[in-house]
């Protein structure tokens, strides 16, 4: 690749990264309304604002600028990352998710229970799609 080509690639990469970050900041500045329990599958994650930062691969939702992990495996990912079950984590989130769930996606206790159910549903579908055996402790 020529020097001009490298420079162009770097400029485009920086522009795309800058645009992605601006979209995330803008999206996080405005609280969203959490979708109701009647909304099914990946549509719930989209309507609730989760896909601003996360992919949900089991529903073919891909966020190319994802700053958070794929929510399809949150049931097993959360204990690895935070040392607590998904249920415990969503009741008392830490780190970035504490900020997100208090400002961007503020959840009532009932909505937290619904979110846990939707994440577990996505995980079950993820297991079926990949042939992974369920983890007995969840």
Q: What is the pLDDT of residue 51?
A: 94
Torsion angle of the four alpha carbons 49, 87, 73, 107, in this order, in degrees rounded to the nearest 10: 0
**Confidence bin at 54 (pLDDT 50/70/90):** very high
Reported as a single tens digit per residue, the pLDDT across 80-134 is 999 999 999 999 999 999 999 999 999 999 999 999 999 999 999 999 998 876 5
Say what the pTM is.
Answer: 0.72
DSSP 8-state assignment for residue 92? S
User: Residue 21 above 80 pLDDT?
Assistant: no
From the list 91, 80, 79, the residue with the least C-alpha distance to 116 is: 91
Q: What is the pLDDT of residue 135?
A: 58
Helix segments in the chain, DSSP class H: 3-29, 41-48, 74-82, 86-91, 95-99, 109-130
User: Residue 26 above 60 pLDDT?
Assistant: no
**Confidence bin at 39 (pLDDT 50/70/90):** confident
User: Residue 67 above 60 pLDDT?
Assistant: yes
User: Residue 68 above 60 pLDDT?
Assistant: yes
């Amino acid at each position: 690749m020529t020097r001009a080509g490298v420079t162009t690639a770097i400029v485009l990469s920086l522009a795309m990264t800058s645009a992605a970050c601006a979209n995330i900041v803008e999206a996080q500045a405005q609280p969203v309304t959490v979708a109701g329990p009647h909304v099914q599958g990946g549509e719930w994650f989209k309507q609730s604002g989760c896909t601003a930062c996360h992919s949900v691969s089991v529903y073919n939702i891909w966020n190319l600028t994802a700053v958070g992990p794929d929510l399809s495996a949150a049931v097993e990912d959360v204990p690895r990352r935070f040392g607590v079950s998904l249920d415990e984590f969503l009741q008392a989130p830490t780190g970035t998710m504490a900020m997100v769930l208090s400002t961007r996606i503020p959840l009532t206790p009932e909505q937290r229970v619904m979110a846990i159910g939707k994440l577990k549903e996505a995980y079950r579908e993820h297991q079926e799609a990949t042939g992974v055996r369920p983890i007995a402790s969840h």
